[in-house]
Amino acid sequence: MDQYTYKELDERISGLELQLGIDNEITKNSNSTVISQLTQIQKMLNKFYDSNGELETLNRIISDLQIWDKIKEPPIELPTEKSVDKDVPNAECIPEATLDMKQKMVLMKYPAIKEAYNNLIQLSNIDVPKLVNYIDTSQEKTHNFSTDNYELLQRKQIIQDITNNFHLLVIKNMVVFEKYLNLMVRENKYWVSVDEQVQVLRKKLVGYENNHNEQNKY
């Protein structure tokens, strides 16, 4: 387990402890435990965020900038015996986004991806030949559609190329969207499993504390 994964898991467990402590620690011990105090602070923070929706947008922008900064960070170059022209970029010097960074970028851009996906689906469902025929046979006689039809015929090949590229883009976006959904399913399953394990551990800990308290009574 690398340092980043450990940190993310530790933060997740800490959040679960706070959520589980809302109904138990506060009602039992009021402000006597650290968990209850942190829980009250968390509740106050949640209310503050609910009343100031623009802070969520600010946090998203900050996270976006932090990831871009990581992508732009140049890799550490080890000194070599061969002299290399510094003005000529080397392939090893070009920073490359890691899989974790790419996944975070997809997560942050999910609203835009979903909106673009829906728009592309609507555009792909447009029956272009039927639309052209409707314009050509329209009852509206105030406009000279023959001129427009002539110009469209002159640009037929260009329009066909744009249409083909558009459909190719739709397919690629569908593939990306499907991979993203699969990633979300795997992530949800993982965190559900973690939540279940944390709840089991918490029950064992509560049972151990109860037994310990019972033994201390005698």
Residues 180-205 pLDDT 10s: 888 888 888 888 888 888 888 888 88
| Average pLDDT score over residue span 136-141 | 57
pLDDT digits (tens, 9 = 90+) for 62-98: 666 665 555 555 444 444 444 444 444 444 444 455 6
In a domain, 53, yes or no: no
In a domain, 43, yes or no: no
Per-residue model confidence (pLDDT) at position 149: 77
Compute the Cα dihedral for 184, 186, 189, 194 and give only its sign: negative
In a domain, 96, yes or no: no
In a domain, 131, yes or no: yes
- In the block, residue with structure tokens 């009574």: 217
181-184 contact pairs (CB < 8 A, 24+):
183/103, 183/106
**How many domains is the chain partitioned into structurally?**
1
In a domain, 52, yes or no: no
In a domain, 7, yes or no: no
**Domain housing 121:** 109-218
Per-residue model confidence (pLDDT) at position 138: 57
Please give the single-letter amino acid code of residue 34: V
**Nearest-angstrom CA–CA distance, 8 and 6:** 6
Q: Tell me the backbone φ, ψ of residue 87, rounded to 5 degrees.
A: -75, -20
DSSP letter, residue 90 = P
In a domain, 45, yes or no: no
